[in-house]
Structure 1
């Protein structure tokens, strides 16, 4: 069996896509009878996957997910997935309880909120890459494999092979068609052959001609540092972060902010909601008109790393100073010198004096008071909600451009 077929992250992603069982067990036996021997995560020694084939993986085995330069084990990944619907404080409490039950010095990794979001997005198939997940060896070295080797691998592959990138199993009829395809070579095999050619000597010959051109552009086109990689992969632009107010009196909470900022319609929040983070998409035409930007929304910075503050683009507030207790800048006046503030209230009512004292960096907005949709004329004024939403996004986009957000880069300091 190929090494990619035994990759724990890929097996977990395939099992989630197909809805098949994942069984913690105390045995490496993959027979059907082993399904009855389900164990708790504190006692299990293996994780049994039933799709695309029955495979048992050691539960302490490392995965390709890396946090703080350390690999995360299978148990921690699976435990985080089981608790994906709970709030971060409840998840941390459950992880602490499990660590107390585990023998010896073994313990599960506690994911930060951005790590959890990246992990769940990748496992659900909504993303094909993550800054925390290392690519498979075949994904990095595939360009150096010869055409003959690739063709032989296609012929040797079984008809019912596992799916590519964890999207489910491949139809047997399609697998048979693919096995007869004519394999096209890449630039290494067509232009250079199987063995890559070193063209570094051309760099030295060209440098004397480039140095004769006046202006700084010539030096910029050909760096003098020989250690600089010729084909560096550009870093992925991080997702901007919006902080909401956790106050119960706030008109915008995690339960209704998505429908407001994405759909342009206000509805009252559901105070029974336990979600603590989500993401929404918005196209910022003046920053990146070719693709929408993904914004992370969270109510508190408890799981923030110091560098996350450079990604905060807006803070929604009700004017209550206790909201900023755990912020990087706990003084509201200092905070809103670095980050755009937004206050949302009812139309016809004045913002609180505390909001006014924060200064002009807090954008006051107001929506029509909520009325029961069954009442006559209740929906006649809701069209104004979209106007308010567009004014908020316009202010956020202007602030992002001023702070240094670009199509392929984010600010390193705000």
Structure 2
């Protein structure tokens, strides 16, 4: 029998009509998925896609929710999942799943029932199906071993012993730490930064509003304003204040305080390891850059810093950060508000600038960075590269509410 995720993939590739049943229902209220030319699929049916976060076989509802938001930002996807009480699939797994569903990739390593999987997994799936057909209902919770699971293990071992080739393959396999476990580590998580963020973004604004509301007319006006303006949007945070760009303090960084103004304002890149411009940067803590933005139809002043310990004396400085340049070294984020790169670059736009023939470190591929290649010798390309970087940054600022 063809799995539900395979039917969904086939429908997406062939651009067949897909709709929720009952019609007009939201993803959380719908019961079934209707695909043109196919029987109705239950949204609660397991798909074989295993969420590595908690080792759960996800239902069709979570998989279809992921596809619905394949062009949306991570923030919008997380917000909609929370609103509809649907399981969240992390960034790397979601990217691979969407590539598989769209047909860009023929396989998905998180899909237990995808083509090309080991015979061992196929045998386990068949055994589980036979047990359900015979009316054997599993009552064990995740992580508990029951008699039926022990029986499955014996059957799987029997299949392995009967196939010498499969046995030799399994003997050479080794388990590796998954991406999330490697990033999480064993240290306890501290939420001091979250408490500060709540203090400055929620508690203090509420106190100011309470103190300034003197009459019912002003209260009604403020309530109407709050319904239309997000207090956390950049248009509110950066009102009468300049946005901030953080550079990497690393000596290997191509963009530093000595050449950033020339590159971002004039579209000219100067290699500070060759020309003696670094000396002028050594006496500077902050560089001001003025951008004549066509997207926002006005001039915008940006403050560029590299030493956050010296410049970021108030928590509100972090609210004004719109971009971070990095060389891929995690020590750079040690004293940041968000010290984990995969969280930091969901809040601000991240850039990795490198010479186009240099290799990109594999560690940054899961950080959601924009990779900006620079020509080593052809300087006429610098203006195009600079404008491309500005286009990405201004588009990000617009999505965050900047006007």
**Fold match by TM threshold 0.5:** no
Question: Which structure has greater helix proportion?
Answer: 2
